[in-house]
Chains A and B, each alone.
Chain A
Amino acid sequence: MLIHLILKDLKIEWRSKEIITSMFIFGLSITLIFALAFQVAPGLIHAFASGLLWVVILFTSVLGLNRLFSLEREEHAMWSWTSAPVDRGTVYIAKVFSALIFVLMSELLFIVPFFIFLNLPANFSFFQLALILFLGTGAIVSVGCLISGITLQAGLRDVLIPILLFPSASPVAIAATKCTGFLFDKKPLADWNFWLLILCSFFVVFGLFGYLVFNRIVEE
Chain B
Amino acid sequence: MNLQVTDLSKSFYRSPVFHSFSFQLESGEKVGLLGPNGSGKTTLLKMISGIMSIDSGEIKIGENIVNPDESAARKYLYYLGHSVGLYPGLTAIENLSFIAGLYEKNDFSIINIVNKVGLHDTENKLVKFYSQGMLQRLKLATALILNPDILLLDEPLAGLDAEGIQLFESLYTEWRGGGKTMLIVSHDPDWLSSKTDRIIELN
Contact = CB atoms under 8 A, between A and B. Distances in A.
A binds B: yes
Interface of A: 1, 4, 8, 11-12, 15-16, 71, 74-77, 79-88, 215-216, 219-220
A77 B84 contact: yes
Interface in B20-62: 46, 49-53
Contacts of B87: 8, 12, 71, 74-75, 77, 80
A83 B51 contact: yes
Given A77-B84, A84-B103, A219-B53, A4 B89 contact: no
A56 B114 CA distance: 46
B102 interface: yes
B102 A16 contact: no
Interface stretch (B68-76, B160-168, B170-178, B186-194): B68-76
Interface residues of B, number: 34
B84 A83 contact: no
B74 A84 contact: yes
Contact of B71 (A16, A74, A85): A85
Given A12-B89, A76-B84, A215-B69, A82 B50 contact: yes
A160 B84 CA distance: 26
A215 B84 contact: no
Nearest to B52: A220
A84 B99 contact: yes
Contacts of A85: 71-75, 102-103
B179 interface: no
Contact of A80 (B46, B52, B71, B99): B99
Contacts of A1: 101-102
Nearest to B43: A220
Contacts of B49: 83
B102 A4 contact: yes
Contacts of B83: 75-76, 79
8 contacts: A80-B85, A80-B86, A80-B87, A83-B74, A83-B78, A83-B79, A84-B71, A219-B51
